[in-house]
Amino acid sequence: MKRNGMLNSHISKVLSDLGHTDMIAIADAGLPVPEGVVKIDVALKLGAPTFQEVVELIADDMVIERVIVAEEIKEGNPEAMHYITDKFGEDAVDASISHEQFKALTRQVKAVIRTGEATPYANCILQSGVHFG
């Protein structure tokens, strides 16, 4: 058994396989997952686990250089937007695409991790960085 880090074996495998600029999505309970994209469902019930809880745990194990959110999050879920910018810094957050464009971009992610989050636009795409020069 692992001593620390991500214990979910499916998430751990996806994170271990990421290369520079590869992407994963953290999604609320309602975001559609494109056909052919791996869905890792960690939802237990509506509201659990939360978007923030899952992002925190992923960020502990992943080098993240860019976070993409839909522009609608700014007005539709300012709490989530505030959390994302506080967590990753305004320079790392890209909120320039529509929710429809966001959903289209999920076709390019390595996996969608589905949470139990039940607030609007609580979704992000995390782009992998590297931990060396």
94 is known to lie in a ligand binding site: no
The DSSP code sequence of 95-106 is: EEE-HHHHHHHG
22 is known to lie in a ligand binding site: no
Closest by CA to 70, choosing from 87, 95, 88, is 95
- Asked whether the beta carbons of 126 and 23 are under 8 A apart, the reply is yes
122 is known to lie in a ligand binding site: yes
Of residues 10, 20, 82, 131, which has the active-site annotation?
20
Q: Torsions phi, psi of 26, nearest 5? A: -110, 125
10 is catalytic: no
Burial (0-12, 13-18, 19+ Cβ within 10 Å), 16: exposed
121 is known to lie in a ligand binding site: yes
For residue 32, cis peptide bond before it (omega within 30 degrees of 0): no
28 is known to lie in a ligand binding site: yes
Q: Enumerate the active-site residues.
A: 20
Binding residues: 28, 99, 121-123
Binding residues for substrate: 28, 99, 121-123
